[in-house]
Each structure stands twice: as structure tokens, then as C-alpha cells.
Structure 1
């Protein structure tokens, strides 16, 4: 597997992990209704990152299409998380933006 794909897999995995953590932490927030969109996008982002990670290891012929979709979802999640001052949201936003850039470069 090329080094660039190994780096992308690592970035996808870090983003998925950050989104899963943010998702769980948001569910514990006092004003959970305010966190609804963040929670939804965390789930979407974690799922697509995990899927793309697996697809790369299978040698998918659809890498370009998948990384384009993944970048769009990561950006949306990052923008939403950035709106919230919670540390878990800020960390997630950072990982999402990093992942979006890595997906665009793939």
C-alpha cells in the first residue's frame, strides 16, 4: 500500500475516533437539544471515515468518489463542531478539517 494511502487511513481513523468521542460527549451535555446537529454530523462523519478507511484497504476503484463525499461531510461536521466551545467539539473540528484536506488531496 502506498505511503500516501497509509497516511490517509491514519487521518481517517483519527477523525472517526474524534467524531465518536464528540458524539458520546455531546450526548452528556446539559442542553442536548442545542447539540442535535453536532451529534448527527458526528455520526455521519464517523461512519463515512470508517467506511472509506475500509474501502482503501480493499483497494476500492471508487477512492476519488468516496474521498470527495468524505471531504464534504468532514467539512460540514467541522463547521458545526467549531460553533461549540466544548473542548471535545473543538478537537473534533480540528480533526475533521484535517481529514477533509487529506481527502481532497487523495
Structure 2
């Protein structure tokens, strides 16, 4: 597998982990309703990153399409998390936006 694909897959795995942490932390916030969009995007981003990372390691013929999809959801999740001042949201935003940028650089 190409070195760049390995880096992308590793970043997607990191993004999945951070999104899951943010998702869990958001559920524990005092105003969960205010965090609804963040929670939804965290879940979607984690799921898509997990699937895309796995497909890339299998050298799927759809890797390029999955990387583009991952860039889209990571960008959306990162922008949503940036809106919230919680440390977990800020960490998530940083990793998501890094992942989106790395994915876009491949596509």
C-alpha cells in the first residue's frame, strides 16, 4: 500500500477515536440538546472513518471515493465541533479538519 494511503488510514483511525470520545463527552454535557448536531456528526464521522480506513487497508477499488466522502464528513464534523468551546470538541475539530485536509490532498 502506498505510503500516503497508510498515513490517511492512520489519520482516519485517529479521527474515529477522537469523534467517539467527543460523542461520549457531549452526551455528558449539561445541555445535551444544544449538542445534538455535534453528537450526530461525531457518530457519522466516526463510522465513515472506520469503514474508509478498513477499506483502504484492504486496497479497495473504492478507496478514492471513500477518501472523498471522508473529507466531506470530516470537514462538516470539524466545523460543527469548532462552534463549541468544550475541550473535547476543540480536539475533535482539530483532528477532523486535519483528516479532511489530508484526504483532500489525496483526491
Task: Compute the TM-score of the two structures, normalised by the length of structure 2.
Answer: 0.96
Where does 1:2-21 land on structure 2 (aligned, <5 Å)? Answer: 2-21=2-21
Partner of 2:94 in structure 1? 94
Question: RMSD between aligned alpha carbons?
Answer: 0.7
Q: Is 1:74 the equivalent of 2:77?
A: no
Residue 38 (structure 2) aligns with: 38
Residue in structure 2 matched with residue 58 of structure 1 by the alignment: 58
Unaligned runs of 5+ in 2: none
Q: 1:29 aligns to what SS in structure 2?
A: coil
Distance 2:35 2:65 in 1: 30
Partner of 2:85: 85
Runs of 4 or more consecutive aligned structure 1 residues displaced over 2 Å after TM superposition = none
- Name the count of aligned residue pairs: 106
Unaligned 5+ segments in structure 1 are none
What's 2:24 paired with?
24
